[in-house]
Amino acid sequence: MSIFALSSCDKEDSLREESIIYVDQVHESEFDKWLYETFTVPYNMEIKWKWDDSEIDNNFHVTPPRKEKAEQFMKALYKIWIEPYQEVGGDEFIKTFVPKLIYLVGTPQYNDNGTATMGLAEGGRKVTIFDVDSFNNSDIAEMSKSFHVMHHEFAHILHQKVHYPMDFKKISKGLYTGAWYNHDLLSATSLGFITPYSMSNDNEDFVEIVGTILSTVGNCNAPVVKYVPEKDTYGIVTGNIIPMLLTDFQLKLYMFGIQIMQNEDGSMILRQNQSGPTGLSIMLNKISIVTDYYKSEWGIDLFELQGKIEIATNQLILENSKEEEGEN
C-alpha cells in the first residue's frame, strides 16, 4: 500500500539558460556524469541517490538504493516520464514544472498505521522516491506501478499552479476519510474512488485519477478481447461471462464495484457491491473534469499521454531484454 505526502508548492521557478547545480567532480562516477548531462544541464534538476541525512526524516529506518537499481530507475524516468510529457506538453512545459530535486531511497518508509510511504513531494520542488531497490525494469505492470508515484506527484505540482474546478471537490464531499487504509479496492470503487488512498481528501482523489490513468498502460492504445461479467441495464452482474473489446483502463472502470474472489475449494465467484453502478457513474464524472482540466489548462490530452507512455515503456523493456540477452 502506498501513501503520498504533500506540502504547499513554491511559486513557479524562473528559467535560466545555464544550470545552477554543480556536480562534485571528486566523487563523480560515470552514472553521476550521465545524471548531470541528462537531467541537470537541460532541465536544471538535481538527482541525489547517495545517502544524505539532510534529505530524509531520520525518525524512520530507510536505506539508500543500490547503484544498479538507481541507474535502472533513472533511465526509466527519463524514457517513460520526462520524454512523453515533453512530447505532449512541449519543452517549456516540462522545463518549467519538473521537480528541481529528486531524491532516491532504496526501501519503503513504513508508518505506524501499517501503511508504507512510497513517495513524498515537498514545496513543488523536491520529490522523494522510496523502494527503488524493488524496481523491476523488465515487466510492464511492475514498471508502470513504480511510476504511479511520479505521475501522482507531478499532478500535485500542476494543480497547485492552476487549481482544478471547484465542482470536483463537491462530488465526494463528506466521503473523504483519514482512515482510508481501512477500505479495500471494492469498497473504494463502490463509493466512486479509483483507489483507497484517493479517499483521503479531494486533492489526493484528483491526482490518484491522473496517476492511475497514466500508469495503466498494459494495453491502452487499442482494446483487446477480455472476458468480463455481463451486466444488465442497471449495471448489475447477471452471472454470465461475456467477451468484450476493452483497454486495460476501460476494464478497470468496467469492474468498478465488482471483485473476483476465490472460494476455499478453489472455485471463483463474482462479488458485486450493489452501489457499484453508482460508483462508476461518479468516477466517470470525475474523469471528465480531470481530463477537461488537463486539456484546457495545460493543453495535454491525458489519454494521448497514456499512449505515449505505453509505447515508451514497451520500447524500454525491449531494450532491457536485449541488454540482458547480451550479458548471458
* pLDDT tens-digit series, residues 124-176: 788 899 999 999 998 888 888 889 989 998 998 899 889 999 999 999 999 99
What pLDDT is stored for residue 263 in this prediction? 80
Higher pLDDT: 205 or 122? It is 205
Q: What pTM, to 2 d.p., does this model score?
A: 0.86
What pLDDT is stored for residue 27 in this prediction? 58
Residue in 218, 238, 242, 245 with CA at minimum distance from that of residue 228: 242
Instruction: Report the run of H or E that residue 9 belongs to, with start and end.
Output: none
Question: 87-119, pLDDT tens digit by residue?
Answer: 999 999 999 999 999 999 998 888 888 888 788
Q: What CATH number belongs to 1-161?
A: 3.40.390.70
| pLDDT class of 328 with cuts at 50, 70, 90 | low
Average pLDDT, the chain: 87
Q: Above 90 in pLDDT, residue 325?
A: no
Dihedral-angle region of residue 13 (phi above 0 means left; psi in -120 to 50 means alpha; beta otherwise): beta
What pLDDT is stored for residue 26 in this prediction? 45
**Beta strand 116-122 pairing with 2-6:** parallel
Distance CA 84, CA 145 (A): 17
Spans of all domains in the chain = 1-161, 164-328
